[in-house]
Amino acid sequence: MLFIRICRLLPSVSESLALPRHGLIRRSMASDPTATETTRFDFLVIGGGSGGLAGARRASELGAATAVIESHKLGGTCVNVGCVPKKVMWNAAVHAEYLHDHSDYGFDVGNVRFSWEILKAKRDAYISHLNRIYRNNLDKAKIQTIQGHARFTNDPEPTVEVNGKKYTAPHILIATGGQPSVLSDNEVPGASLGITSDGFFELETLPKRSVIVGAGYIAVEMAGILSTLGSKTSLIIRQTGVLRNFDSFISTNCTKELQNSGVDVWKNSQVKSVCKTDKGLEVTLVTKDPEKKSDEEKIRTIQEVDCLLWAIGRQPNTSGLNIGEMTVDTDERGHIIVDEFQNTSRAGIYAVGDVCGKALLTPVAIAAGRKLAHRLFEGKKDSKLDYSTIPTVVFSHPPIGTVGLTEEEAIRSRGKENVKIYKTSFTPMYHAITSRKSQCIMKLVCVGKEEKVVGLHMQGLGCDEMLQGFAVAIKMGATKADFDKTIAIHPTSSEEFVTMR
């Protein structure tokens, strides 16, 4: 009787032998008491951002024992200091724009006050909510979350160490993303007195005087948000226009729109030095027009600056990973080199997202991570991301939408004689009765006798939400004739794309 009672208190044989979704490799020897155990998974993901989480969740759905290593907050750049909080701030700036138009539409709004503090509190609460959702999703998928910095060891098989514990897997994905590039005080004296886009989201109050350095989409978006919300803003660019990697039609128009909206654009200029005074920062600039060789450099200063923001590019998060130990090849900027299947130079180690330095966009990282999971754990040998014809939006004022080849790229690849351009510029109907004006510009890049549409570029009210549908058509190989056969939706700006001549 006593024996039976004891047996009932013990776990059943099946329970005691049940295997977890991951296992332990015991590497400790009696002669080496310092040796550690290594936990093995099927799939080990370094980086809990968009690409890493997407790959991890899809792999888990396909039956792989999966773990995610993250040193900061789940969600990566996009959720914490990128797309999501940026879009909240852009939405607020759009409200500020519409306030200018209320009287033209018959509204008397009286004295309107803006509180950066209220907006920041609501934005931060939303981001924290998203962080919790990501954690809950991992828990539901039975994916182990490991908090800390990963570093590759010199073990015989690819292994990482986090907080003194070792983890390995036959498939390890590096999805550590990127971070804003910064200048040292040796390169530009006082550079460290500025912030980056990461620091923008820590600002407790709206700066009265802002200086943004850079000509890429982050610089354009930050300048637009700050200026529209009421900060006197200067944008420092090295050449004559912003977004130089975009179609020249877009680059020229966006530069003009920034200036028309009140942003002070300093062309052919660079920051020479920054110093702190009792009234804020003093930013010294050097300006020289390269076209005018005889012109001397002009030295000027912007004073009483309370926000200097560097938006001069991004760099991969690879320092501290010790990827050299794994003989993983990188380019001169530190980006991990991968092939079309996201394979690195070391078998069993893969990379997706910004750490690879190609198409630095959240949906690209997500798609690449999922495609990789299907290849590794569902046997889909040919599962890979097609990096061509990727649509993207810049949340400028007004927003930009672009997909496919620029006119310049099409001419280089197909020859000028084989490229046909259709474009238009007009005032959107919304602005027909407003004193504030903003143009909408549109361009189609077509190639060959059939006039296949290989590029579509636009800037104007609503262009951010127009793009996705047109991107599908272009990905499917639509021609100008297909556009022409489509009945216009009137009155909209988008109808211009199907009525161009």
Kindly give the pairing relationship between strand 314-316 and strand 178-180. antiparallel
- CA-to-CA distance for 72 and 49, rounded, in angstroms? 10
Q: How far is CA 19 from CA 16, 48, 147, 167, in A?
A: 9, 26, 23, 17
Tell the residue number behind the tokens 């968009």, with chain if given. Answer: 50
52: part of which helix (H) or strand (E)?
A: helix 50-61
Residue 175 and residue 316 in contact, taking contact as beta carbons nearer than 8 Å: no
Choosing from 72, 100, 397, 490, the catalytic residue is 490
User: Which of 353, 392, 73 is closest to 221 using CA atoms?
Assistant: 392
Show the DSSP H helices in 340-479 as ranges: 362-377, 407-414, 463-475
Length of the chain: 501
Tell the residue number behind the tokens 């994916």, with chain if given. Answer: 143
Angle among Cα 111, 117, 122 to the nearest 5 degrees reads 105
- CA-to-CA distance for 67 and 138, rounded, in angstroms? 9
Kindly give the pairing relationship between strand 307-310 and strand 209-213. parallel
- CA-to-CA distance for 118 and 205, rounded, in angstroms? 10
- CA-to-CA distance for 150 and 158, rounded, in angstroms? 12
Residue 358 and residue 339 in contact, taking contact as beta carbons nearer than 8 Å: no
Active-site annotation holds for 490: yes
Active site residues: 490
